[in-house]
Amino acid sequence: MIVLIFTGGTISMRHDPVAGGAVPALTGRDILALAPGIDRYADLEVDDFGAFPGPHMTVDRVWALRGRIAAHLARPEVDGIVLTHGTDSMEETAYFMARSLDTDKPIVFTGAMRTSSDLGWDGSANLAASIITAASDDARGLGVLVVMGDRVFSALDVTKVHTHMPDAFESPGLGPLGVVDDGRVIVRRSAHFGLPVLAPAAPAQPVDIVYAWEGADARLLDASRATARGVVVAAMGRGNVPPLMAEGIERWIADGKPVVIASRALRGRVGHTYGYPGGGRRLFEAGALFAGSRRPQQARIDLMLALGAGVDVKTVFDG
């Protein structure tokens, strides 16, 4: 049996003339009614968690969703889980689950880029492909997945790369794990990164992301330092920031609060290449941690989970 957890997103939306745009309007059963015959792929159970647009998801909601998923996974009759989710934050929620849940049962996130009011609504096809994936023996042990447009991605490396096209998701530099073709899952690569699961009693909050840009100073870093538990710096290129921003990072470190350096680039790792003021090597030597190839939003989740679990964050961010 596959449990379908509906959390909202564009897949649940219709155009509302009063609001002037798309708003959540469909329950899980409403969505299934728009996809007749979808139950032929597996026995299905519906769980309506909520009707949230992607930007309305919060850490507390994601944590509650994690608890809901864990409860279903503990049921022996459940073979896998499919979740509908807003695409704007899907990669973050999926990554959160990938880093904090340990199971061989498939957990598959999906959604839609077009509403049910639009020609070419992609919700039913994405939902069908996700159910096929969750019910497939070939998906067991692959970790948390995102299925969009018949492509199967690992939650550990997928990101949204387009604002509105149906093929909006990619794993930059890696590609999908596989595809759904003619009713079956074809796996083309593995998804084993060797990252330990982080399962705190609750994630630490708040943890912020501060972006670097040409000529950036430390104002945002200093403002964040007053209340945040930790910060991720979305640095330039290999992990470099302007000199004035580096001074703000040093103040964070002096306060004993963790600073994680990620890159705003979509591909590649941060590293020790540059030794000028604000360069990655200088930041590392000052005590900043390196996120490796993790994108800023991924590093933020890992930092929240690590701080919440009380583990040494240096063991999570080893560069």
Least Cα distance to 290 among 271, 264, 315, 313 occurs for 271
Beta strands in the chain (DSSP E): 2-8, 13-16, 21-24, 44-52, 80-84, 107-110, 144-148, 151-154, 159-160, 169-170, 178-181, 184-187, 207-211, 230-235, 259-263, 289-290
Where b means 16+ CB within 10 Å and e means fewer, 192-231 reads eeeeeebebeebbeebbbbebeeebebebbeebbeebbbb
- Dihedral pair phi/psi, residue 228, rounded to 5°: -75, 150
Q: What is the pLDDT tens value at each position of the chain, 319 positions in all?
A: 999 999 999 999 999 999 999 999 999 999 999 999 999 999 999 999 999 999 999 999 999 999 999 999 999 999 999 999 999 999 999 999 999 999 999 999 999 999 999 998 999 999 999 999 999 999 999 999 999 999 999 999 999 999 999 999 999 999 999 999 999 999 998 876 677 899 999 999 999 999 999 999 999 999 999 999 999 999 999 999 999 999 999 999 999 999 999 999 999 999 999 999 999 999 999 999 999 999 999 999 999 999 999 999 999 997 6
Q: What is the CATH number of domain 207-316?
A: 3.40.50.40
Q: Say if 2-187 and 207-316 have the same CATH topology.
A: yes
Amino acid at 73: L
Q: For domain 2-187, is the CATH number 3.40.50.1170?
A: yes
- Dihedral pair phi/psi, residue 85, rounded to 5°: -155, 150
Report field, pTM of the whole predicted structure over 0.95: yes
Contact (Cβ atoms closer than 8 angstroms) between residue 109 and residue 83: yes
Domain boundaries, the chain: 2-187, 207-316
Active-site residues: which are they?
Answer: 10
